[in-house]
Amino acid sequence: MTEWQGAFHFGDYWAAYRGPAGDNELHSHATLQVTFALVGDLRLTARDGATQSGRSLMVRPSTPHRLERHEQVLLLLIEPQTPLCRSLLDMMGSADIADLPKSVAAEIDLGAPLTACLDHVSAATPPAPQALDPRLQQAIDHLESAAEELPLAVVAKRSGLSESRLRALATEELQVPLSKWVLWRKLRRSAEELATGADIASAALAGGFADQAHFTRTMKRLIGLTPGMAAEPFR
């Protein structure tokens, strides 16, 4: 059985994995997913059972899907507040799952270091059509720079918005609920802790999860894997 035995890498606003695609459950990311098949075609299955195949596929944030097992893939998870993500979403039109334009895919060396792969995508992608609403950008900046988790009501007030307006603006412009984006950032911190050799319980606490069970549920929902399944490639 194919397992997740490749390597993960985390950048400031993205994560990448290269290696076999093993078992995973139906899930939806707080990020844009760009998936490349290093051999043959890959296949994604949507919530309704419909499948889409190709050499390089994009999945919109919050779109439930499952990646079928595959010999070798490259996964890029790009956070929705970034200009790169907004540019790629613009290329997708209204589709939830779409082929990466050939003009972009052709510029990527799939065997390059993972940081270089992200750079290749960025260099081949036109500039973002527009910037985030400055109030939403300010809220994201507060969330990213806070030493501890801030209530969204506090973040909203500091950004000149009501909490309900901040949530609505985030869903509109990020295409993912802000609470889900916050969970993704916590998951990143836990995954980075796993990469240092920490056990799952310690990694859960480092990310701000209440316990290992909360960490496990969140990881299954956001990336379709349990911490036990992901621990080896994270290291």
Write out pLDDT tens, residues 115-126: 999 999 999 999
Tokens at residue 165, please?
């307006």
Which residue carries 């701000």 as its tokens? 208
**Of 98, 82, 103, 68, nearest in space to 31 by CA:** 82
pLDDT attached to residue 59 = 98
Instruction: Identify the band that residue 233 occupies on the pLDDT scale cut at 50, 70 and 90.
Output: low
User: Burial of 139 by CB count in 10 Å (0-12 exposed, 13-18 middle, 19+ buried)?
Assistant: buried
Q: Are 36 and 55 in contact (CB under 8 A)?
A: yes
- Judged against a pLDDT cut of 80, whether residue 19 lies above it is answered with yes
Q: Are 214 and 233 in contact (CB under 8 A)?
A: no
CA atoms within 13 A on the CB side of 165: 13
Domains assigned to the chain? 7-124 (2.60.120.10), 134-234 (1.10.10.60)
SS3 11: coil
pLDDT attached to residue 234 = 57
- The whole-model pTM stands at 0.91
Percent of the chain with pLDDT over 90: 76
For residue 87, what is the enclosing H or E element?
helix 83-92
Percent of the chain as helix, strand, coil, to the nearest 5: 45, 20, 35
Instruction: Identify the band that residue 232 occupies on the pLDDT scale cut at 50, 70 and 90.
Output: low
DSSP one-letter code for 39: S
- Judged against a pLDDT cut of 70, whether residue 176 lies above it is answered with yes
More confident position, 114 or 230: 114
More confident position, 45 or 226: 45
Q: Provide the mean pLDDT of the chain.
A: 91
Instruction: Identify the band that residue 16 occupies on the pLDDT scale cut at 50, 70 and 90.
Output: very high
Mean pLDDT of the 47-68 span:
95
